[in-house]
Structure 1
Amino acid sequence: MPTYLKPKLKITVEGFMNTLTQLPAQKKVSATSPEIELLLSCARTKIDAPIAEQIKNLIEQGINWEHLTKTAKRHGVMPLLYQSLNNTGPNKVPQQILNQLRDNFQANTLHNLFLSQELLKILKLFEANDISAIPFKGPVLAAWAYGNLALRQFSDLDILVNKQDFPRARDLLISQGYNRCNQLYWECELTSDQGLYNIDLHWEIVPKHLCHFFSAEELWEDLESFSLMDTTISNLSPETWLLIICIQGNKDYWLKLNRICDLAEILRTEQRINWEQLIKQSEKLGCKRQLLIGLLLAQNLLGAALPTTISQQIQSDSAVNVLALQACEWLFPKTIQSVEGIKIIVWTLHTRERWQDKIKSILGFMKNSNWITPKQDDFIFLPLPEFLSFLYYLIRPLRLITRLLIVLVTWTKRLSFTKITLSNG
């Protein structure tokens, strides 16, 4: 078993109070399956000699190929799995499995080429109507970080516009046959007229209560030129890419390996990263811990190299190691499960290092969910006559905030006495 999969501690989130108030217990993580080890070895664009040998050895041990392909599909890394197996030892893979992976690879290639062409059409349409736009993730990330459109899976197109341009951009897409299917408070989801793909039209990268990210106007000051299918488009800086991927990965609790692959590929291919600037930006945005969690996952799971200064930053925040371990548990659970309810807010609050950001997150969850709806325990806590029942909408938020603050203070104090590190062997 690779040493990067042998952390000294195992942290689980079983309940709200227990998770926040108990110190992490010394436990060993059970050995991962050979299928997961093989997937981690294959989920990269470059295979060096030691990794190639490891892939061959794992295959010879016996692989549950159905489980491997299902897991790769769930994590959005089927193209990487096919390329690595095909280049390393195709004669060791059952022909039926290799054919299945090849067919999927070819279909994904055609799909990505189609979406890339659609993206360029939309950008040209926006330009003709004086709407500045920044594409992110999707085809741009595949071509820029992976060096090959075929090696990354994506199902939709993400485009960022200025907030004042958003209504025009949305209406322009609708006039071209796109249908609005969901309006969120940081983006609008539209689907193509035939329902083949979605466009996520953003005026914010993520909801503000999760991270008050740079506005579109600020991002325009740090753009680079990039050639996508022989067309010059605007691209984000390496530092901004790393921040966006880590923030969005954190928003989704790192449930899929493909986000970590994105980070690892940027770290492998991009030599211009200004690490000092990156840390300063993350501190300004209040997302330094989220950044460090993502970088640690890329290093420990996919072997991405980090500068010594970044490793020191990771070691200085013991919560980063705890949260990275929790992310690994959610990434490869024994049984497929959803992360919901109290686990979501516990995770989000732990990944915010500043108290003002924790409070914003709490208020954001209350505003955008049914958390402020009075529950039975509120009625028991303070029975009120019918004509005063409206006060429960004030009582419930106050009770939740008080409870959260108490347990967060307790957890933070105890965590400060605990130095938790991931074992490297």
Structure 2
Amino acid sequence: MNNEAKVNLSTLPKEVKLLIEIIKQSSISEIEKLASDKEIDWNTFIDYALHHRLYPSLYRLVKQLNSTVIPSFVIETLGSYYKRNTIQMLQLSAEMERVSRLFIENQIELLFLKGPVIAQYLYGDISMRTSGDLDFLIPIQKLPQAEALLIEQGYEKDDYIETVLEDWRWRHHHVTYYHPVTGIKLEIHWRLHPGPGKEPHFYKLWERKQQSTLTTFPVYFLGQEDLFIFLVSHGARHGWSRLRWLADIDRFLKVKDSIVKTNQVFEQQAVHLVGQAMLLSNKLFHTKIPTELQWFLEKERVQKLAEEAMFYLERKVNLHTPPLPKDVSLFHSRHLYSLMSMERKVLYVASWFFPYPEDAATLPLPKSLHFLYFPLRPLLWAWRKMKKPTATGRYAK
């Protein structure tokens, strides 16, 4: 594979390098060599373990090392988080089964995208992967029924989506519900990813679904190839800023046979994304890439995207806590665009000419006149650009 010059790991923090060596189960001598470095800050090491969501695996592995190089307080701290995560995953598993029963008995098909079902599928143990909520996909036409069911169960909607001319249907991809008593958060998806862009129809995904072995009542999730491409696309969209997403890819490539059907990769225009994920996994975790897929890695675009992803790992970027630093926000915007297929880029540029909720906020019009936002959009956009930036340092769209 011609990828040696394109992914530079030398700029990673020492603590991240040590974390990676432990996760990929390097020799004790190699791990002890890194851990003995006096420049290792063990509190920083713990911070990285939490940030990258790898502390469950780390805790299991450092316990098995039988080495005195890693301080006992590090192992104890990881163990505390490991136990807390196990309890949370058990709670999420129970709620996942309950929601699945509730929806299926009310004729709403649902496919779980992440959470305990993926932990069981990839690792065979729900305690080995973290999850903060339950994400699942349903047909968009069944959203009102699903919302009514959840409200009956005590869930409250986080109604953060602003919309004009029904653009929520394709600009956004999920809505969040929170239970004030249990503290559990649900994300109902009607798309796999934010739009605009083509995706497989829900019922095509439903035809290829798998059933989890974790629960008594049926819980369904994406078929093997669909799940792999979803995890790849999700990780890529977040810049692989958490190593857990790459650890999932590493695990997938190690324990699942016939992972990728090339026709599905082309259908979802994901060749460059799959290539990026496999190249990063290979470089970071020494993941063995199937011979028939190695040509993905040799594409120049794949190597460039993999090199760009190192930006996030070098800086411990957290995309979930806006506002982002200006340099991170600018880099991430450009990186997201570079990830798009040509078709998706065309749709993305075309979407700029579709009215935004900011247009309605700038010039409120009666709903019957909302069509006027199309010809008025350039003027409204120019007006906002002339104003001062918001507190976040960004102008409205």
**Fold shared, TM-score > 0.5 on shorter chain:** yes
Q: Which residue of 2 aligns with 1:8?
A: 5
| SS of 2:177 mapped into structure 1 | strand
Asked if the contact 1:365/1:371 (under 8 Å) is kept, the reply is no
Number of equivalent positions: 353
3-state SS of 1:92 partner:
coil
- Residue of structure 2 equivalent to 1:60: 36
Deviations 1:158-197, CA, capped at 9 Å, x for gaps: 0111112221112101110000013553211000122612
Bigger RCO of structures 1 and 2 (CA < 8 A, at least 6 apart): 1
| Cα distance in structure 2, aligned partners of 1:397 and 1:9 | 39
User: Counterparts of 2:78 and 2:355 in 1: how far apart (Å)?
Assistant: 41
- Asked whether 1:150 is paired with 2:132, we answer no
TM-score (norm 1): 0.75
Q: For 1:165, which of 142, 152, 166 is the aligned residue?
A: 142
1:219 and 2:205 equivalent?
A: yes
Cα gap change, 1:163 to 1:371, in 2 (>3 Å): closer
Counting only pairs closer than 5 Å after superposition, residues 306-321 of structure 1 correspond to structure 2 as 306-315=289-298, 317-321=299-303
Name 1:287's counterpart in structure 2.
Answer: 270
Instruction: Using the TM superposition, give the Cα deviation of residue 88 of structure 1 relative to its aligned residue in structure 2, in angstroms.
Output: 1.6
Deviations 1:294-326 (A, max 9, x none): 1221221122211123221221x2011111111
The alpha-carbon deviation at position 365 of structure 1 amounts to 6.2
- Helix, strand or coil: the match of 2:308? helix
Tell me the distance in 2 between the aligned counterparts of 1:159 and 1:229: 16
Q: Deviations over 1:212-252 (max 9, x none)?
A: 22122110110122211444422322211111011111222
- Maintained 8 Å contact 1:90/1:98: no
Contact 2:51 2:316 in 1 (8 A): no
Q: Give the % identical residues.
A: 21
Take 2:106 and 2:273, find their aligned partners in 1: how far apart are those partners? 37
Q: Of 347, 350, 353, which residue of structure 1 is paired with 2:338?
A: 350
Distance 1:367 1:102, change over 3 A: farther
Q: Which amino acid in structure 2 is aligned with residue 33 of structure 1?
A: P
| Runs of 4+ residues deviating >6 angstroms | 334-337, 368-373, 395-398
Instruction: Give the Cα separation in 2 of the matches to 1:358 and 1:397.
Output: 20
Q: Name the CA distance, whole Å, in 2 between partners of 1:366 and 1:250.
A: 26
1:123 matched to 2:103: no
1:33 aligned to 2:13? yes
TM-score by length of 2: 0.80
- Amino acid in the other structure paired with 1:149: I
| Corresponding position of 1:239 | 225
- Residue 325 of structure 1 corresponds to 307
CA contact (8 A) 2:113 2:137 kept: yes
Does the C-alpha gap of structure 1 residues 182 and 298 become closer, same or farther in structure 2, counting only changes over 3 Å?
A: farther
Contact 1:56 / 1:89 at 8 angstroms: preserved in 2?
no
1:76 matched to 2:53: yes
Is there any run of 5+ residues in structure 1 with no aligned partner, and where? 11-27, 374-389, 399-425
> Partner of 2:340: helix, strand, or coil?
coil
Matched, 1:359 2:346: yes
Secondary structure at 1:180 match in 2: strand
Distance 1:199 1:282, change over 3 A: same
Contact 2:274/2:296 (<8 A) preserved: no
Q: What corresponds to 2:169 in structure 1?
A: none
Q: Which amino acid aligns with 2:70?
A: V
Q: What is the distance in 1 between the residues matched to 2:283 and 2:108?
A: 41
Report Cα offsets for 1:249-299 as digits up to 9, x if no partner. Answer: 1222222111111111111111242x3x2x321222222212221122122
Please list the CA deviations of residues 91-136 of structure 1 after superposition, one character each: whole Å capped at 9, or x if unmatched: 3321222111111111110111111111111111112212111112
Match of 2:188 in 1: 201
Q: Is the 8 A contact 1:126 1:132 kept in 2?
A: yes
Specify the alignment match of 1:188 in structure 2: 175
User: In 2 relative to 1, CA 371–243 (structure 1 residues): closer, same or farther, beyond 3 Å?
Assistant: farther
Q: Which residue of 1 aligns with 2:166?
A: none
3-state secondary structure, aligned to 2:154 = coil
Q: Deviations over 1:390-413 (max 9, x none)?
A: 977337989xxxxxxxxxxxxxxx
Please give the alpha-carbon distance, in whole angstroms, between the structure 1 residues aligned to 2:222 and 2:193.
16
Task: Report the counterpart of residue 214 of structure 2 in structure 1.
Answer: 228
Q: CA RMSD in A?
A: 3.0
Contact 2:54 2:244 in 1 (8 A): yes
Distance 1:183 1:126, change over 3 A: farther
Secondary structure at the counterpart of residue 362 of structure 1: helix
5+ long unaligned stretches in structure 2: 162-171, 319-323, 361-373, 383-397
Paired residues of 1:7 and 1:29 also in contact (CA < 8 A): no
**In 1, distance between residues paired with 2:188 and 2:228?**
20
Kept in 1: contact 2:122–2:248 (CA 8 A): yes
Q: In 2 relative to 1, CA 368–298 (structure 1 residues): closer, same or farther, beyond 3 Å?
A: farther
Report deviation, 1:149.
0.5
C-alpha distance in 2, partners of 1:168/1:391?
A: 36
